[in-house]
A and B are shown apart, each in its own frame.
Chain A
């Protein structure tokens, strides 16, 4: 659902919290206007919170 706004990441649902893991090379969430859009999209899907996780396997990317 976030790919359509240009964000490439995995989304994990933990209740009302969405944990986003960016795919290698995606740095779009560093931009505040993108974060606002992401939060808006996630709200529409019932999430109240979103957090970005940088996973171990990204370290080698």
Chain B
């Protein structure tokens, strides 16, 4: 049985995270000025705020890359966080959809998406003479299947949160301590992660899953949520506590009807195991079950 951590253990963990943040401030100061790939997610929002404190607004630029695979809600969060904390932002459009290597949706799809993003961000950093280009990759991300990271590495993009060993839990803890609204925000990877490898990524399919997820959220579902695309069937992944609630037939039918009406899926099914990061990597045989 899992035991709750003792108060002294919690305090010690908080001290470790605070110490990492001090080191992060020093690391950023060494680089002088930074451009950050900014999605408005937990990691990049935290990184941008620490960078702003360490370097000041003239030496930080957060770049938001907009495309069909970037959820509108995430974009709104990114703008809201940047506005509230005074983070300088530039918004650019990216066009990974027009790259047939991306649209074909191979298991390294993220490589082509991130290649497109960085190919547009790095020239901005050069033009403005910023010292480094950063992303929000953290230490927990290093073990999984993340071909997008290779695109950044090839171009010299740095990941200070990973370099300094920040875990997701620590980033949430420090975000909470700083009053960042993103601290308890569910992870939100791009919408293409809902489409199985080998099934082509189209604007219509991305829109379908986005509309479906918004409809499920509209029912009051909290926590991590994914609607996975399986052609005519939408497979909904919920957190364990939500799963209990929505597997009752009357609730499940309400969820089904909402997804059908919003997104046009003929069939809707609720995943029995619930949300798991990289679910389609497992289904596609890219990672082990």
Contact status A32-B269, CB under 8 Å: no
Residues 6-39 of A, flagged 1 when their CB comes within 8 A of B and 0 if not, give: 0000000011110110100001011010010011
Q: How far is B269's CA from A57's CA once the two chains are assembled, in angstroms?
A: 15
Residues 251-289 of B, flagged 1 when their CB comes within 8 A of A and 0 if not, give: 011001000000000011111110000010011010001
Residue A59 at the chain B interface, CB threshold 8 Å: yes
Contact status B273-A39, CB under 8 Å: yes
Residue B145 at the chain A interface, CB threshold 8 Å: no
Q: How far is B272's CA from A4's CA once the two chains are assembled, in angstroms?
A: 19
Q: Which DSSP category, helix, strand, loop or mixed, fits chain B's interface?
A: mixed
Partner of B283, one of A16, A27, A39, A53: A16
Q: How far is B236's CA from A53's CA once the two chains are assembled, in angstroms?
A: 10
Q: How far is B128's CA from A35's CA once the two chains are assembled, in angstroms?
A: 55
If the complex has contacts A30-B248, A51-B235, A52-B247, are A38 and B253 also in contact, measured as CB distance less than 8 A?
no
Partner of B269, one of A48, A53, A58: A53
Residue B249 at the chain A interface, CB threshold 8 Å: yes
Complex: chain B residue closest to A43, CB-CB: B289
Residue B244 at the chain A interface, CB threshold 8 Å: yes
Residue A49 at the chain B interface, CB threshold 8 Å: yes
Partner of B289, one of A17, A35, A48: A48
What is the size category of the interface that chain B forms with chain A?
20 to 34
Q: How far is B289's CA from A7's CA once the two chains are assembled, in angstroms?
A: 23
| A35 proximity list for chain B (CB < 8 A) | 272-273
| B249 proximity list for chain A (CB < 8 A) | 22, 27, 54, 58
Contact status B269-A51, CB under 8 Å: yes
Contact status B230-A14, CB under 8 Å: yes
What is the size category of the interface that chain A forms with chain B?
20 to 34
Contact status B233-A50, CB under 8 Å: no
A-B pair count, CB < 8 Å, reads 63
Q: How far is B279's CA from A61's CA once the two chains are assembled, in angstroms?
A: 33
Contact status B268-A20, CB under 8 Å: no
Contact status A19-B248, CB under 8 Å: no
Complex: chain B residue closest to A50, CB-CB: B272
Q: How far is B274's CA from A49's CA once the two chains are assembled, in angstroms?
A: 10
| A54 proximity list for chain B (CB < 8 A) | 249, 252-253, 256
Q: How far is B285's CA from A47's CA once the two chains are assembled, in angstroms?
A: 11
Partner of B271, one of A14, A16, A27, A50: A50
Q: List 7 A-B contacts (CB under 8 A).
A: A19-B267, A30-B244, A49-B279, A52-B272, A53-B268, A53-B269, A59-B253
Which residues of B pack against A, CB within 8 Å?
A: 230, 233, 235-236, 244, 247-249, 252-253, 256, 267-273, 279, 282-283, 285, 289
Closest 7 CB pairs of A and B: A51-B269, A53-B269, A50-B272, A54-B252, A48-B289, A51-B271, A51-B235
